[in-house]
């Protein structure tokens, strides 16, 4: 039996291994060291690697990303933490106008081995400024790579790849998954960026789901299987680069597509996937594509409203039924 660890432990293991492997790797962020991190992800690393490599910062997101980016530009390999993805609003200039474009603007003169880790997602009634899924802001910015893992196995392998990557990567964890367990081998492994994973095979409907929605989709698929509807769940794992082939291949098999993400529907990743599939696999489609996403509102505080706004298992089941006709 393979051991099981949580996503939190998976992140920590990846960080520890990369810190051990490469002296140029260091962590920078708010309360990640002495305090052990808001989500306790980095707990123990400060004791193990010391304050020079696990660097606590003031509450200054723009300064954090700027410092990481500058160090990366001259050859270090920093991993910055933004405590909640919502706070990228505070440092979006450094991310989108600086990190994403520096290489291009300098005609390829600079390489930015920079990783930004940050948790997103709703589910804790943390309201409008602590619950967002902001991946669309990032995938819309050429120059950034964007990773959104769901399982502990993927989290560990992809984070190691992100840290070794020579381009800026935004690595979006999900706060509701930190305690989620899954099998992770003892030995070292790296999952290349840009490879989707089929989380469940099925012949009837392709369900592309990201992050926590992978679990919701799996639950929906289990219920639908009882009625004889077989869903194929494709977890892209990285949104940029995107494993289009895996999605297209699955749609070629099933002829039906549902895209599920927690971010609001409008202008979201689902629209991008739908456009790709319509352009490149139109002839395979037997039904209009369905999107299951959050409603186009900010995230409300009340648990009832939060649940209403965000996609639920029932919504995925309903969408699958719709495409099944």
Residues near another protein (CB under 8 A) are 30-31, 34-35, 38, 56, 58-63, 86-87, 89-90, 124-130, 266, 295-298, 300-305, 308-309
What dihedral do alpha carbons 84, 86, 92, 94 form, nearest 10°? -10
6 binds, among ligand TPP, another protein, none (CB under 5 to 8 A by kind): none
114, 74 Cβ separation under 8 angstroms: no
Task: State the pairing for strand pair 238-240/77-81.
Answer: unpaired
Annotated catalytic residue, options 9, 13, 61, 165: 61
62 binds, among ligand TPP, another protein, none (CB under 5 to 8 A by kind): another protein
* Cα distance between residue 18 and residue 117, in whole Å: 14
Distance set, CA 247 to CA 28, 242, 257 (Å): 36, 9, 9
What is the nearest approach in angstroms of ligand TPP to the Cβ of residue 288?
41
What is the nearest approach in angstroms of ligand TPP to the Cβ of residue 38?
7
Report the interface residues with ligand TPP, using CB under 6 A. 30, 59, 61, 83, 87, 90
* Cα distance between residue 180 and residue 176, in whole Å: 8
* Cα distance between residue 241 and residue 237, in whole Å: 10
DSSP 119-139: EE--SS---TTSS---HHHHH
Cβ distance to ligand TPP smaller for residue 9 or 173: 173
Annotated catalytic residue, options 18, 81, 130, 165: 130
What is the nearest approach in angstroms of another protein to the Cβ of residue 127?
5
* Cα distance between residue 157 and residue 189, in whole Å: 6
Active site residue 130: yes
125 binds, among ligand TPP, another protein, none (CB under 5 to 8 A by kind): another protein
What dihedral do alpha carbons 45, 47, 53, 56 form, nearest 10°? 90
* Cα distance between residue 178 and residue 120, in whole Å: 11
What is the nearest approach in angstroms of another protein to the Cβ of residue 29?
11
* Cα distance between residue 279 and residue 257, in whole Å: 14
Task: State the pairing for strand pair 169-174/54-56.
Answer: unpaired
97 binds, among another protein, ligand TPP, none (CB under 5 to 8 A by kind): none
Other residues' Cβ atoms within 10 Å of the Cβ of residue 232: 23
104 binds, among another protein, ligand TPP, none (CB under 5 to 8 A by kind): none
What is the nearest approach in angstroms of ligand TPP to the Cβ of residue 82?
8
Catalytic residues: 61, 130
């Amino acid at each position: 039996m393979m051991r099981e660890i949580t996503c939190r432990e998976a992140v920590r293991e990846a960080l520890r291994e990369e810190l051990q492997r490469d002296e140029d790797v260091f962590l920078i962020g708010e309360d990640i060291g002495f305090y052990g991190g808001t989500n306790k992800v980095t707990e123990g690393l400060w004791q193990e690697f010391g304050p020079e490599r696990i660097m606590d910062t003031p509450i200054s997101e723009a300064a954090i990303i700027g410092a990481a980016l500058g160090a990366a530009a001259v050859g270090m390999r920093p991993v910055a933490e933004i405590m909640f993805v919502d706070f990228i609003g505070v440092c979006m200039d450094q991310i989108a106008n600086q990190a994403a474009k520096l290489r291009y603007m300098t005609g390829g003169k600079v390489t930015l081995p920079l990783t930004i880790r940050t948790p997103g997602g709703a589910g804790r009634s943390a309201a409008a400024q602590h619950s967002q899924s902001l991946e669309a802001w990032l995938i819309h910015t050429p120059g950034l790579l964007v990773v959104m893992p769901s399982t502990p196995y993927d989290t560990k392998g992809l984070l190691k790849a992100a840290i070794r990557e020579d381009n800026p990567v935004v690595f979006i964890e999900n706060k509701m998954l930190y305690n989620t367990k899954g099998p992770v081998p003892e030995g070292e492994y790296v999952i290349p960026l840009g490879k989707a994973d089929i989380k469940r095979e099925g012949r009837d409907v392709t369900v592309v789901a990201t992050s926590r929605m992978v679990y919701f989709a799996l639950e929906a698929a289990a219920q639908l299987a009882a009625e004889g509807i077989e869903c194929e769940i494709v977890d892209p794992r990285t949104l940029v680069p995107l494993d289009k082939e895996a999605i297209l291949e699955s749609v070629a098999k099933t002829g039906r597509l549902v895209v599920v993400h927690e971010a609001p529907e409008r202008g979201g990743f689902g629209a991008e996937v739908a456009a790709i599939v319509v352009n490149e696999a139109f002839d395979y489609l037997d039904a209009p594509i369905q999107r299951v996403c959050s409603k186009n509102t900010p995230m409300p505080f009340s648990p009832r409203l939060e649940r209403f706004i965000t996609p639920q298992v029932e919504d995925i089941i309903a969408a699958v039924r719709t495409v099944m006709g």
